[in-house]
Structure 1
Amino acid sequence: MHLFLLLILPVPAVIGQIDPGMTYLQKEASQPAGYGGFLLTRVFLEHCRYALGMEDGRIKDEDITASSQWYDTTGPQYARLHCDNGDGAWCPKGPLEPSDSQYLQIDLKKLTFLTLIGTQGRYAGNLGKEFAQEYRLNYSRDGQLWKSWKNRQGQGVLFGNKNTYAVSSNDLKPPIIARFVRVIPVTKLSSTVCMRLELYGCPWDDGLISYSAPVASLNDSTYDGVLDRRKLSGGLGQLTDGMTGLDDYLMTRQFNVWPGYDYLGWKNDTPGTQEYVEMEFVFDGPRNFTSMKVHSNNMFSRGVKIFSSVSCWFKLRLNSPWEAEPVVFKTVLDDRNPSARYVTVPLNRHAAKYVRCRFHFADVWMMFSEISFLSEDTILASEIPEIGTSAPDEDISTTITTKTAVPSSSDSSEEGNMPILIGCLVTIILLLVVIIFLILWCQCVCKVLEKAPRRILDEEVTVRLSSCSDTIILQTPPVPPRSRHPPAGTTHADPHYERIFLLDPQYQNPVALRNKLPELPQSAEASACGGGYAEPDVTQCTPHQCFNSSAPHYAETDIVRLQGVTGSNMYAVPALTVDSLTRKDISAAEFPRQQLIFREKLGEGQFGEVHLCEAEGLPDFLREGSPLQDRDRRSVLVAVKQLRADATSQARNDFLKEIKIMSRLDDPNIIRLLCVCVSSDPLCMVTEYMENGDLNMFLSQREIESTLTHANNIPSVSLSDLLHMAVQISSGMRYLASLNFVHRDLATRNCLLDRRLTIKIADFGMSRNLYSSDYYRIQGRAVLPIRWMAWESILLGKFTTASDVWAFGVTLWEVFTLCKEQPYSLLSDEQVIENSGEFFRNQGRQVFLYAPPLCPPSLFELMMRCWSRNILDRPTFEGLYQALRPQVNP
């Protein structure tokens, strides 16, 4: 009966969640780190780029030290990015000589995964002249053993700054796993240097501090430990760098490296690894291990397979013997699918600080690219196993057998019961055969049905999303306890494999997909339903009309337009000529460009840039009712979009269109155009800039309000604050929807806050490098915020108010997770696109975002309505505003 239930019960497809800040060390946790929660780390490098606290003060002054300082006012505590306290930076004592090794040291207090570093010189109100043109990095995981960082080509010097004010950012390839970091300025001539900096990354909650392994035929080129007697020990390397290898191990994700670089590969005729490869893992403290995940190559046509079995031993202390009985796991080998995949090895909650595993060959080669562990970071005394005496050097069987004691009985009774037992067993076997046959038959019928044409709102669509013959259902890790709405789904035949989805070839070639479909009428192609903000005087189609156009299309042209001239999306309008745009179309006043003082570059697009500037005497040029009109004549911080000199005539036309649109927007929750500089080149528009920056950065640096945050003076927000933010965003979008404007990139990164927590919806996010990982690039040109986009926007190129409602639901989810993780953080970009295909097919296999713990159930139900597959079932922004407003306290 138990076997029968296992065969017929579906396994839900679920989503995990991500650790604060970062991440993306991905963490599935019932409680925060440090409180015994389950921890699983798998790094997504493009997302693990969050500021670690130099600029905002989360890294305390006492945790920043230096080898020397020139004055007290240039001490290490002043080495904070964008801060001008003291004399504006850290400056080591005396002129720096080429042979010097002066350093600035930061204690991050815990192991951290570092991916990026940004540096500045000493600005000091335009009085500073010192900066470091080059620097090196040293790091340590324990504060005693220091290692020197080198890139993948073996170079250890990073390029620094070219002036005193601009930020120079360097991606760390490979990334660093460390607690202590030293920044060492380098100079070729005797000179004075000063530095400010910020570190970017995310917590390393995996706890793994080193692994040991025999030297591989495909070597670990970034390993930071030691090599002794053909064995690597005491370090970390490519198995923890967050970079999974491709299906074809000869293809690499890196430039200027050799074939097979992403993998560690052992051959079964290498001395010491004829039968198995033995690896030892050391952690920062005792843990209860629940599973191990190993990303393995399976290109069996070249003699590469996942391991046939693995045996793991455990111990709590260095001088203790290994446990007597290993945990043994035998894999189900796959000779049909050559895809690389994660193999999940259950570790049965063994308590240990040291883990030793033997991976047995299934073919000539065995190749790994990543290894991570799921564990609990606290040990219960009752769970500590008795330590045996035998070590894994003995010959141990690769299977676990359990002996069951049978009560004794007389020989005559045994002989009498034997026919009955045999009959029962035969009956059970026949039933199982029938059940297996029915299951296989049902699967075959389902595949046939999946190949039949689907209908969207009773209209036939002929686009092929993916072939049923090669589709493997995505299996994500177990659902965290806090997720209240796990969606139903199915799994692959082997639950320990996770499919690495590849982008469908038709998505890689949008033109080919579009050629398969009937063309839309010209009027539909030019309508505002396919492109960003649109003028209200243009005929707009309703969501239903947009959805039921003659055929779905990819709308590649519209998607490319989404980027905008300056990297934003607010400019796109239907066809207008430059001649139709006159000065009287722009209600904003002309502002003297010489009164704009440059402070910082916020971002850039293909033909324009966005700058943070101070505007002197701005109130004199503002129209009546402007939020800044009542200020005195002191300078005001503003955001300035500027068209570059090399812009094309089309870009110039688009820029003027955006000015025309912006000049008409007038709502307390929409960013306002204050004035323009269009009488001469370069063309500029001046908009509001909020003191608290964008909502994503604001919330990610805060915790929910509690007595603990008050006692420790931790920046916090209340649930009432979050609800108030949600109401303001819905109010701003309600205003845009009333004008038939479609934003197309609504997210917390595009919501700005002033000091009173007033939100204004903007469009700077796409232009900022900080949020580049939130956008998916198509053929090197178009960028799409696919994690916020409705399925019809991804697959059909349809951008409507209804798709903005979908994005609003995702934005609400960001708010109530305090922006601690990216939406669908456990899915790659390609898997997000696959998931949109599941929304299209609507067979119950689509993956939804989980319910944030801070989110009231009624509000999560509202989010789920925003993600309705049928756009007619989604609420309007007016309805959302009316539903949210009563929940906010006066």
Structure 2
Amino acid sequence: MHLFLLLILQLPAANGQIDPEHCRYALGMEDGRISDEDLTASSRWYETTGPQYARLNCEGGDGAWCPEGQLEPSDSQYLQIDLRRLAFLTLFGTQGRYARGLGKEFAREYRLNYSRDGQLWKSWKDRLGKEVLEGNKNTYGVFSNDLKPPIIARYVRVIPVTRLSTTVCMRVELYGCPWEDGLVSYSAPEGQLMMLPSYPHISLNDSTYDGVRDKRKLSGGLGQLTDGVTGQDNFLKTRQYKVWLGYDYLGWRNDTPGTRGYVEMEFVFDRLRNFTSMKVHSNNMFSRGVKIFSSVSCWFKPYLTASWEPEAVSFSTILDDRNPSARYVTVPLNHRTARSIRCRFYYADVWMMFSEVSFQSAAAPSASSTSDEGNTPILIGCLVTIILLLVIIIFLILWCQCVCKVLEKAPRQILDEEVTVRLSSCSDTIILQTPPVPPRSRHPPTGPTNTDPYYERVFLLDPQYQNPAMLRNKLPELSQSAEASACGGGYAEPDITQCTPHQSFNNSAPHYAETDIVRLQGVTGSNMYAVPALTVDSLTRKDISAAEFPRHQLIFREKLGEGQFGEVHLCEAEGLPEFLGEGSPLPDRDGRSVLVAVKQLRADATGQARNDFLKEIKIMSRLDDPNIIRLLCVCVSSDPLCMVTEYMENGDLNMFLSQREIESTLTHANNIPSVSLSDLLHMAVQISSGMKYLASLNFVHRDLATRNCLLDRRLTIKIADFGMSRNLYSSDYYRIQGRAVLPIRWMAWESILLGKFTTASDVWAFGVTLWEIFTLCKEQPYSLLSDEQVIENSGEFFRNQGRQIFLYAPPLCPPSLFELMMRCWSRNITDRPTFEGLYQALRPHVNQ
């Protein structure tokens, strides 16, 4: 039975929709993953300037690929790259021929052609229709071009362009990530024009579609529905510059002749696939007559020349007339196997608008489109053998269950002795709106669930969960006085101001903070520290110690994340070191601009959200430690309210480590980004130091993980708090009660089952963070378990019957350090080390 379950858990699962801002990995020209056999060219000048030498930063042969003879303006010489699989390309880098200082040839401009099947070739154009890309200005420098829109292709041709007769040589690198969707084309009606009284014509067409446009029908291509850019809540706003209103959406009007009340789309894939679900990002600005689709029906066929299967999958959405936010709607496809899918989306209002469509699927075993009658006896024999094996397995399972029942000493008293956390698709569920999961180096959960996948996962709260005292009475370490249980927790509790410092979180006798679990996520989407006795009812400007920074000196660079009432932006702060003066916490920038994270309250925020935001400013202003992100300044003299915190140039630790290998002779020889074991230990010591400081203030972080640790170029770590708000890490969080999100894979069992967050539960999360560090963040914790199985595992910790599952020992991790991790995951709170103890235990391992 356990073997059967393990096989189920190890089934592959597809990744979610790609985020172009993070899909920027080198695909293998420079490091040789793209082999010489996959590089061809229309011509070459010499054997030593063949296509195999067109590798960025490599000096093999005579230093580059050079087409034969003088390149003329009318020529179309090309270098062709076969990626061996479909890829999502977001960046293209080029270089000239340097040849150890002797080269003098480079391409000032070039074009890109691409193909998904090696037969039909398409020309890349930017969002404004321009085909020619800027190339190099010298022989040695690397020039990179963002591909907007991105390219989805297996084959790419680089075509140098010249205005005069000249010699040209090139070295190149492609950047992106695998295209796991497998979608090679979609067909749909062409988008339409919307006319509003106060706006010019709003074009809702698919402007980057690379297929055929004929008779107001799009066919055979991909476009804006697969470019990774989701439209905003207000479809009149766009995420691109210099484009028209409505650009991000493909939209259709209900009363157009011939629409018949629905929009029909067809999706074709690279091979036979087993489909779990389809995710459609849809606008819901109902004040303009736009709503998500009311229902959808999908038909399937296993190969392109087959007929559509008669049995359709149908799904009805829950229409929302209160929240105008654009959202992803997840449509279950019930593990149907197909090569092509046809879906009809039915209108709920006058307009329907989509900005992204993606699919979750796994490759299905390939099947021939024609049957061989000679193989029929063999197939029958195989089926009979399989059936007999299944009968034997079922018999063994039943026999094992019978033996287990006989040996069991007493029946389990479910309601009295264990906590059960179930899932439900009852009336309190809402449509899934979680953003797509960008591709990361981890294995998505594949375990079986008993939920409807198109709904938010929610807790059907057990009576014991609703009344944690029932559980506390069963465990001595949970038995606290009513007075103590009201102290030290989430600052939203009305009686928390009655606590005194000595009552809150002392390491010798830790107790639980009665936190409002829904308030874990702050107004900007970041997590909110749990702190003792903090009120801001009378908070004014003079209560804020941070200086007021000129708002116009913040230059927006990127949106890092968002919450219900606020956003987190990555910005450049002009003149910030001079503004902060001597003693500034900013490191030496060598004349470069200062990157900062700016949390900003939205204009539509409620009074409570505004109060919480000011409260967060007050909390942040109290933090002053080398390993904790600091509040630098604020913009609160006018709306919108902003707080400006540090941001580190190397980004978060998860992304940093996942792109590196452990230091070795091989990494040095091949110039592969690497880290040493000493580096990893130094990171662990810094995180323990920062958490020791937070614990000394009785602060509880509640979301400690590598995604919340920022890193500078000197490998200095600062613990931050806005990983929860970032779409990149949405798969690390589990949505509870349709409102809050919880990092359950990092949470102690008592936090999951009782909503209790303390310094002791932070220690548990620190153990998981150590595990991430020593796996180089290549895998998500408990990657073989689904979210629901992680929750069930926390129940096993509570029951303490030896069935709980622990994280394995990472190969890089010294045994003594793994023992420390295991102590962090002790079932009894008093058995877990303190952060002071962790710091003292880790510090001797680092060369000072």
Q: TM-score range by the shorter chain?
A: 0.5 to 0.7
Q: Aligned-pair distance for 1:157? A: 12
Q: Aligned-pair distance for 1:692? A: 0.8
Amino acid in the other structure paired with 1:840: F
In structure 2, how many angstroms separate the alpha carbons of the residues matched to 1:673 and 1:865?
33
Match of 2:146 among 79, 83, 93: 79
Amino acid in the other structure paired with 1:42: A
2:263 equivalent to 1:263: no
Match of 1:162 among 229, 238, 242: 238
Q: Aligned-pair distance for 1:630? A: 6.2
Q: Deviations over 1:245-296 (max 9, x none)?
A: xxxx98789999999962367xxxxxxxxxxxxx999xxxxxxxxxxxxxxx
- SS of 1:78's equivalent in the other structure is strand
Match of 2:734 among 771, 776, 784: 776
Is the CA contact (8 Å cut-off) linking 2:485 and 2:511 kept in structure 1? no
Match of 1:618 among 562, 576, 596: 576
Match of 2:306 among 228, 241, 246: 228
In structure 2, how many angstroms separate the alpha carbons of the residues matched to 1:157 and 1:761?
30
Q: Aligned-pair distance for 1:43? A: 3.1
Distance 1:811 1:873, change over 3 A: same
- SS of 2:584's equivalent in the other structure is coil
Q: Aligned-pair distance for 1:628? A: 2.1
Is the CA contact (8 Å cut-off) linking 1:531 and 1:561 kept in structure 2? no
2:632 equivalent to 1:674: yes
Is the CA contact (8 Å cut-off) linking 1:211 and 1:280 kept in structure 2? yes
Q: Aligned-pair distance for 1:395? A: 5.0
Match of 2:806 among 848, 855, 861: 848
- SS of 1:226's equivalent in the other structure is coil
Correspondence list, 1:45-444, <5 A: 45=16, 55-58=24-27, 65-66=112-113, 67=123, 70-73=131-134, 78-80=145-147, 112-113=180-181, 134-135=206-207, 148=221, 162-164=238-240, 209-210=271-272, 221=299, 225-228=303-306, 262-263=333-334, 392=377, 396=381, 398-400=383-385, 439-443=404-408
Q: Aligned-pair distance for 1:163? A: 4.9
Amino acid in the other structure paired with 2:600: Q
Residue 340 of structure 1 is matched in structure 2 by none
In structure 2, how many angstroms separate the alpha carbons of the residues matched to 1:260 and 1:596?
41
In structure 1, how many angstroms separate the alpha carbons of the residues matched to 2:330 and 2:716?
53
Q: Deviations over 1:78-104 (max 9, x none)?
A: 125899xxxxxx9999xxxxxxxxxxx
Residue 639 of structure 1 is matched in structure 2 by 597
Residue 449 of structure 2 is matched in structure 1 by 500
Q: Aligned-pair distance for 1:559? A: 1.1
- SS of 1:564's equivalent in the other structure is coil
Is the CA contact (8 Å cut-off) linking 1:669 and 1:759 kept in structure 2? yes
In structure 1, how many angstroms separate the alpha carbons of the residues matched to 2:798 and 2:239?
51
Distance 1:113 1:229, change over 3 A: closer
Residue 489 of structure 2 is matched in structure 1 by 529
Residue 164 of structure 2 is matched in structure 1 by none
Residue 385 of structure 1 is matched in structure 2 by none
Amino acid in the other structure paired with 1:527: C
What is the root-mean-square deviation in Å for CA atoms of aligned residues?
Answer: 5.7
Distance 1:167 1:571, change over 3 A: farther
2:622 equivalent to 1:664: yes
Q: Aligned-pair distance for 1:706? A: 2.8
Distance 1:749 1:579, change over 3 A: same
- SS of 1:713's equivalent in the other structure is coil
Distance 1:666 1:250, change over 3 A: same
With 741-750 and 660-669 compared, the bigger mean Cα shift is at 660-669
Residue 43 of structure 1 is matched in structure 2 by 14
Q: Aligned-pair distance for 1:634? A: 6.7
2:504 equivalent to 1:540: yes
Residue 381 of structure 1 is matched in structure 2 by none
In structure 1, how many angstroms separate the alpha carbons of the residues matched to 2:752 and 2:629?
27
Is the CA contact (8 Å cut-off) linking 1:530 and 1:800 kept in structure 2? no
Correspondence list, 1:491-890, <5 A: 500-501=449-450, 507-509=459-461, 513-514=465-466, 523-524=483-484, 526-530=486-490, 538=501, 539-542=503-506, 547=511, 558-570=516-528, 572-573=530-531, 576-622=534-580, 624-628=582-586, 635-890=593-848
Q: Aligned-pair distance for 1:115? A: 9.7
- SS of 1:599's equivalent in the other structure is strand
In structure 1, how many angstroms separate the alpha carbons of the residues matched to 2:525 and 2:586?
26
Residue 332 of structure 1 is matched in structure 2 by none
Give the paired residue count.
589
Amino acid in the other structure paired with 1:162: T
Amino acid in the other structure paired with 1:540: S
Relative to the length of structure 2, the TM-score reads 0.57
Q: Deviations over 1:114-165 (max 9, x none)?
A: 7999xxxxxxxxxxxxx998455679xxxxxx9645999x999986982546
Q: Deviations over 1:832-870 (max 9, x none)?
A: 111111111111221222222222222222211111111
In structure 1, how many angstroms separate the alpha carbons of the residues matched to 2:764 and 2:24?
34
- SS of 2:571's equivalent in the other structure is strand
Amino acid in the other structure paired with 1:263: N
Amino acid in the other structure paired with 1:787: R
Amino acid in the other structure paired with 2:238: K
Is the CA contact (8 Å cut-off) linking 2:504 and 2:532 kept in structure 1? no
In structure 2, how many angstroms separate the alpha carbons of the residues matched to 1:879 and 1:13?
42
Q: Aligned-pair distance for 1:786? A: 0.9
Structure 2: gaps (5+ residues): 30-55, 57-78, 82-91, 93-111, 114-122, 125-129, 137-142, 151-157, 162-172, 186-202, 212-218, 253-268, 276-295, 321-327, 340-363, 387-397, 424-445, 473-479
Is the CA contact (8 Å cut-off) linking 1:532 and 1:562 kept in structure 2? no
Distance 1:502 1:713, change over 3 A: same
Is the CA contact (8 Å cut-off) linking 1:586 and 1:663 kept in structure 2? yes
- SS of 1:740's equivalent in the other structure is coil
Relative to the length of structure 1, the TM-score reads 0.55
Is the CA contact (8 Å cut-off) linking 1:786 and 1:832 kept in structure 2? yes
Q: Aligned-pair distance for 1:740? A: 1.3
In structure 2, how many angstroms separate the alpha carbons of the residues matched to 1:524 and 1:157?
49
Distance 1:543 1:830, change over 3 A: farther
In structure 1, how many angstroms separate the alpha carbons of the residues matched to 2:338 and 2:376?
13
Amino acid in the other structure paired with 2:741: V
Q: Aligned-pair distance for 1:681? A: 2.5
Q: Aligned-pair distance for 1:642? A: 1.6
Is the CA contact (8 Å cut-off) linking 1:564 and 1:571 kept in structure 2? no
Is the CA contact (8 Å cut-off) linking 1:147 and 1:224 kept in structure 2? no
Distance 1:640 1:357, change over 3 A: same
- SS of 2:459's equivalent in the other structure is helix
In structure 2, how many angstroms separate the alpha carbons of the residues matched to 1:464 and 1:263?
27
With 531-540 and 797-806 compared, the bigger mean Cα shift is at 531-540
- SS of 1:612's equivalent in the other structure is strand
Distance 1:844 1:12, change over 3 A: farther
Higher relative contact order (CA 8 A, sep 6+): 1
Q: Aligned-pair distance for 1:508? A: 2.5
Structure 1: gaps (5+ residues): 1-9, 17-25, 29-39, 84-89, 94-104, 118-130, 140-145, 171-183, 189-206, 239-248, 266-278, 282-351, 359-387, 402-432, 455-461, 468-496, 550-554
In structure 1, how many angstroms separate the alpha carbons of the residues matched to 2:837 and 2:242?
45
Q: Aligned-pair distance for 1:880? A: 1.4
Is the CA contact (8 Å cut-off) linking 2:24 and 2:176 kept in structure 1? no
In structure 2, how many angstroms separate the alpha carbons of the residues matched to 1:821 and 1:515?
35
Amino acid in the other structure paired with 2:776: L
Is the CA contact (8 Å cut-off) linking 1:280 and 1:354 kept in structure 2? no
